[in-house]
Amino acid sequence: MSQLPRSPPLVIHLCKRCVEKGISPYWDCSPDNTGSIGVAKTIGLSSSFDYKIFWYNLT
């Protein structure tokens, strides 16, 4: 990743607000979404489990 997006400060703020309101923040994205994974790692989140995603073309 060449440059991190500006979203980490916003994500950190949102997670803090969730905790203040008694909501447990949860981050979810597909394994190939390296940008999203990078943001999650940047703000200190870690993977708690992995699961398989199946895509189907319905056309």
Q: Which pLDDT band holds residue 53 (cuts at 50, 70, 90)?
A: confident
**Total number of domains in the chain:** 1
Inside any domain, residue 27: yes
Q: Residue 1: is its pLDDT beyond 50?
A: no
Inside any domain, residue 30: yes
The C-alpha angle 14, 18, 22, rounded to 5 degrees, equals: 170
Inside any domain, residue 26: yes
Nearest to 40 by CA among 20, 11, 19: 11
**Burial of 39 per CB tally in 10 Å (0-12, 13-18, 19+):** buried
Range of the domain at 24: 7-42
Which single residue is written with the structure tokens 């199946």?
Answer: 54
Against a cut of 0.85, is the pTM above it? no
Inside any domain, residue 20: yes
For residue range 7-52, what is the model confidence (pLDDT) as tens digits?
A: 788 888 888 999 999 998 888 888 888 988 888 888 888 888 887 7
